[in-house]
Amino acid sequence: MKKKKNSIIGIILIFLGISIISIALYMRITSSLEQKAMIKDFQAELNTIQDSINSSEDQVIEDEVVENVEETPEKKPEISLNSKAIGIMSIPKIELEVAIGEGVDMNTLKYALGHFPNTPMPGVTGNFAVAGHRSYTYNKYFNRLDELEIGDEINVTTLDGDFTYKVDNISIVEPEEVSVLNSTTNSTITLVTCTPVRVATHRLIIKGTLVN
């Protein structure tokens, strides 16, 4: 009777183990597919916008060679963002390319990095702040962030262009230390993630300054 009971418990434990692994694998695959779709959609929009800009520039050139035409205000191509991504971040040092979503809510961070809404976008004065998860299962985008060193590059592409930052400060702070998001007098970037992985008692902060 005891052997039978132990056998049943063993089967249950094996089943639970398989279930946990299957769920983690499913979430990882789902996250990866969503991330790839976000990057693809964003890049497609960039191409569409660039085509629109090129078409507009060609039209301006044609208008300039036509004499005695009535002057009209220059029409700028309408720029809008329909994809879920607001940009793409790449960090060569850790071989990372990942989409950036708007907001740091659970749903956004499930599939991408998240832009803190109260901070500016790249290219303007201020602190462009981005959060991302670290995990052994899924949402692994910032898993290797602790490998960054002073001088490493962080690249961000948005509808406004390509921006390169150089890491100039690395720190670990308490979760409630929100001063890392404070505005700055120049163009900077702040990356925020949990540390250590799994335990997540603190926050790893990577800061950089715009160089290009």
pLDDT tens digits, one per residue of 162-193:
999 999 999 999 999 999 999 999 999 999 99
Query: Per DSSP, what are the bridge partners of residue 187?
Result: 126
Among 129, 134, 162, 165, residue whose Cα is nearest residue 147:
134
Output the pLDDT for position 74: 42
Does any domain span residue 152? yes
pLDDT tens digits, one per residue of 13-69:
666 656 555 555 545 556 566 666 666 666 666 666 555 545 544 444 444 444 444
Residue 71 has phi, psi (to 5 degrees) of -70, 135
Q: Which of 194, 204, 205, 206 is catalytic?
A: 194
Does any domain span residue 76? no
Integer Cα distance of 57 and 125 in angstroms: 29
Amino acid, res. 81? L
Does any domain span residue 166? yes
**Count of structural domains, the chain:** 1
Give me the CATH number covering residue 205.
2.40.260.10
**115 catalytic per annotation:** no
Output the pLDDT for position 140: 77
Output the pLDDT for position 109: 86
Q: Which of 133, 134, 203, 207 is catalytic?
A: 133
Output the pLDDT for position 106: 85
Ordered DSSP codes for 93-128: GGTEEEEEEES-SHHHHHHSEEE-TTSPPTTSSEEE
Does any domain span residue 119? yes
Does any domain span residue 37? yes
Does any domain span residue 181? yes
pLDDT tens digits, one per residue of 104-137:
998 888 888 999 999 999 989 999 999 998 876 6
Does any domain span residue 13? yes
In sequence order, the 6+-apart residues with CB closer than 8 A to the CB of 42 are: 83, 85, 87, 88, 99
Query: Per DSSP, what are the bridge partners of residue 206?
Result: 170, 191
Does any domain span residue 74? no
**83 catalytic per annotation:** no
The domain containing residue 193 runs over which residues? 1-69+83-212
